[in-house]
Amino acid sequence: MVETHFTLVRHGETDWNLQGMLQGHADPPLNDTGRRQAALVAARLAALPFAACYASDLRRARETAEVILAERGGSVLHTSRLLRERGLGNWEGLTLSQVRERWPQQYQLWVQDRNTAPPGGERLEEMAQRATCYLRTLAQVHAGESILVVCHGGPIKALVCEALGVAIASSGQMWTGNCSITRVKHDRQGLVVLTMNDLCHLEGEAQP
């Protein structure tokens, strides 16, 4: 049976992660810790061959992927907007306490139902649909191969939810740390989660 193997890596830490600021489609770079995390995950994956590498076009994911590919001569990085984190619109760049103060009603609606779109942002289901559809397309393009995907917690958890057959709302009970590794395979029977949120390579590194 033909299988496609995904190795999904969440981007390294940014100052916004450290400060508890919502990132969404905003584009902060990796900080020093994030670059160190990227180097550690690169070392962890060094012996694994990948037919291709894909990443979100946002800087924090792209920079992480570039570190991973630095020692892989000739590797080409493909970026896509479809792998972006959920767009959080007017809330990007703010902490949750700031959001609660400025948009109390919208914040309460969002707390009650995380699928609610923030002002100017995406519904959770919209992010999940665009990301999982793109990843399923990659599974067909790279049937029988292993590929690396560097993106964000939202798209990674969306694929895991689809593999487990649970609603995307369940992603709120999942955690993917910065530069964690999640492995998923796709075959004729569907998606199977092999490992999730593997952080062994970051031992001693604090997670926000």
Q: Show which residues are catalytic.
A: 11, 85
Is the CB of residue 161 less than 8 Å from the CB of residue 193? no
- Strands 52-56 and 4-10, how do they pair? unpaired
Nearest-5° angle of CA 173, CA 56, CA 44? 75
What is the per-residue DSSP string for 83-116? GPPPP-GGGTT-BHHHHHHH-HHHHHHHHH-TTS
Start-to-end CA span in the chain (Å): 40
